[in-house]
Each structure stands twice: as C-alpha cells, then as structure tokens.
C-alpha cells in the first residue's frame, strides 16, 4: 500500500463519513445513484434527495419502468437535470442489455449515458471493491496540492498526469473505503478555502504546504465574464387558478422539464400570447424579477402574470402545453426557480 493511501485510510477510520445512506446497504444501484447526484452537488444537499429517490425507485428496474416526468419530479431542485435524464436512459439500457442490473465491466459502464471514467471507477471500487481510481474535483484538488501540480486540472495534459498519480497511489485492499476517504478528505479537510493543514495527515509530504502555495493550487480555471440572457416568462392562470406550463425542448437548458412559457422580448411575447391566449396582453402584472445562475451564463427572468385567462379557441392541452392544478405541481419536474415562483404564489 502506498504511504499516501495508508495515511488517508487511517484518517478516514477516525474522521471519515461512515453513515451515509448509500453506504447501508452499499449496492451497485445505490452507489451509482449517489455518484451521479454528487456530481456538482454537496453531500448535505444530496442526502434527502437520495432517500426520497430510492424510496420511490429502489432499483434499476423500477427506475427503467418509471416515466421521465416521475424521475424529473424526484430530481426537481437538485439541478443539472441532464444527470436525471441520463440516469433514466441508462437504466433502460441496463434492462435491455444487462438483465436489469448495472454491468460490472468498466467498458460496459462508461458506455452508459452519464457515466464517465471517474464515476465508473467509483462504482467499481465502492460496489465491488475493484482496483479503480477516481478523479473528481475533490481528488484533483488534493493531488494538485500534495504533488505541487501546476496548471488548470481541466486541461488534458494536467488531467492525464493526475490520472497517472491517482492510479499509482491505489491500495491493494479496502478500495471502497479508500474511494470514500478521498472524497471526504477533499470535502471536509483539504477544502477549496481555508483547508485545515494543521490537522492534515499528509502535511509532511505536501508540496503546496512546504512551498506556501496552498491558496494557489490547484490553478484556477482562467476567468471570463459570464454572459447574461434575458426572457419574459408567462404566469398564466385560468378561472380555476390552474397555471399554464409548457414542456421545454429535449435539448438545451432544463431539457424536457415543465416550465413557464417564455419569450425573448415584448414583441415576441405579445405574438405568442395573442396566438394562444384569450385575454388582454396589456393587463399583465409584473412580478419580482428572478436572476438564476448557470455554469456558463446568468438567466434573468421577468415574470408577467395574468389571472382568469383561457386558451384561445383551437388551442388545446397537449403533451407540451397543459393547465396544471396546484396539487399536481409536486408530481412534475419543474426547474427550481420556476417552482419557487409558483409555490410562492400558491
């Protein structure tokens, strides 16, 4: 066993997280689900979503048999919805190709939607104790500091070097614990800001600490200003106080979720309204603006509300445009800022 792995496992035994819900029991399905949920999301946020999800869909077959709307509803608020869509698609492929179970081979795992090299390694190591490395954001940060690796870890050359180090440091046993130890260590001790270097079991070999470069490493991604996108969103309510929702396209942001109709400007908004709604466009009431941040841009939404309107003759509820009662909102996948807006009004 490498000294790195040995020290980390000793630390994990005393300080790691041993009571996470996906650890008891640690089945391939539960490990897979947790790994997907933990992409870009902290453990404390994931835990209640994970528990709700497995209560409703306890295994691969149940997930494959569910509707995409059910999956989105369970995921709603967790963000990065492509993860949920890929999870659902992968479950269906597991039923078609692998007898309703996650495949145990690395190549078969990475062939499934939403499973890359690190996620596949985490599943194989934690579910089956196999000797595979991981390289999530926490692990990249630790390795860059301990080994003094310069350069943004998102570049191919730096990432390849980190993969080589991660593979070389794998222990021969306790792969599940070691995998969890790496994630816990980066999340709770070797954190992005204010790492607890004085408590670190690796301080004697940490290049960043020795050279006073802890705050410099890992090298941050080159910054550039986030662009902004603006839209008007329609909060349309009929005489029964139902709200009109529209399914978003299957590609792009919030793909496949139910959201509010939107338009880029007032001219386009008026055109859409007059083509679909029996009512007075100029009777709209402006609600408080919403500013929502995505990874690559900010989305500024101006909600406009109309009460007691109806669909124009010839326009009917369909698979992409529906009146939704208050009680139905919880059963649909709705983007978090839109859900917050609607629940704040109901």
Residues with catalytic annotation?
Answer: 35
Element (H or E) spanning 245, and its range? strand 243-247
H-only helix segments in the chain: 3-15, 28-38, 43-56, 60-65, 68-75, 82-98, 106-110, 117-128, 137-147, 156-168, 175-188, 207-210, 266-276, 336-345
What CA–CA distance (Å, rounded) separates 20 from 276?
49
Token pair in block for residue 11: 């630390």
Task: Please tell me whether residue 10 adopts helix, strand or coil conformation.
Answer: helix
How far separated are the first and last CA of the chain, in Å rounded?
A: 58
CA-to-CA separations, 66 to 50, 58, 71, 211, in angstroms, rounded = 16, 11, 7, 53
Give residues with Cβ within 8 angstroms of 344, minimum separation 6: none
228-236/298-306 β-pairing:
parallel
Q: Is 282 exposed, middle or buried (0-12, 13-18, 19+ CB in 10 A)?
A: exposed
Tokens (6 digits) for 315 = 């326009």
Residues ≥6 apart with Cβ < 8 Å to 68 = 85, 88, 256, 333
CA distance 323 to 230: 25
**Closest C-alpha to 321, from 329, 311, 313, 331:** 311
Residue 55 to residues 87, 123, 214, Cα–Cα distance (Å): 16, 20, 42
């Amino acid at each position: 066993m490498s000294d790195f792995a040995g020290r980390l496992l000793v630390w994990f035994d005393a300080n790691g997280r041993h009571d996470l819900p996906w650890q008891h029991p640690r089945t391939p399905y539960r490990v897979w689900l947790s790994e997907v949920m933990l992409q870009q999301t902290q453990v404390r946020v994931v835990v209640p979503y994970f528990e709700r999800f497995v209560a409703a869909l306890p295994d691969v077959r149940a997930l494959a048999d569910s509707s995409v709307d059910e999956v989105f509803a369970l995921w709603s608020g967790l963000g990065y919805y492509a993860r949920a869509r890929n999870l659902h698609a992968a479950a269906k492929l597991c039923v078609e190709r692998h007898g309703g179970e996650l495949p145990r081979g690395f190549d078969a795992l990475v062939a499934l939607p939403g499973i890359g090299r690190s996620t596949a390694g985490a599943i194989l190591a934690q579910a089956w104790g196999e000797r595979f490395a991981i390289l999530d954001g926490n692990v990249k940060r630790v390795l860059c500091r301990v080994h003094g690796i310069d350069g943004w870890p998102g570049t191919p050359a730096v990432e390849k070097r980190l993969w080589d180090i991660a593979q070389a440091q794998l222990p021969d046993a306790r792969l599940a614990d070691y995998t969890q130890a790496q994630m816990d260590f980066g999340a709770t001790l070797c954190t992005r800001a204010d790492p607890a270097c004085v408590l670190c079991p690796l301080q004697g070999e940490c290049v960043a600490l020795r050279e006073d470069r802890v705050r410099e490493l890992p090298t941050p991604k080159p910054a550039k200003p986030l662009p902004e996108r603006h839209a008007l969103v329609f909060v349309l309510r009929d005489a029964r106080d139902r709200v009109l929702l529209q399914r978003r396209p299957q590609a792009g942001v919030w793909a496949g979720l139910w959201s509010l109709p939107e338009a880029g400007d007032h001219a386009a908004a008026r055109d859409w309204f007059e083509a679909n709604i029996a009512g007075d466009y100029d009777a709209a009431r402006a609600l408080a603006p919403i500013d929502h941040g995505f990874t690559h841009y900010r989305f500024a939404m101006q909600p406009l509300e109309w009460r007691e309107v109806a669909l124009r003759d010839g326009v009917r509820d369909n698979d992409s445009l529906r009146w939704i009662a208050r009680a139905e909102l919880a059963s649909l996948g709705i983007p978090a800022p839109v859900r917050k807006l609607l629940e704040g009004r109901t």
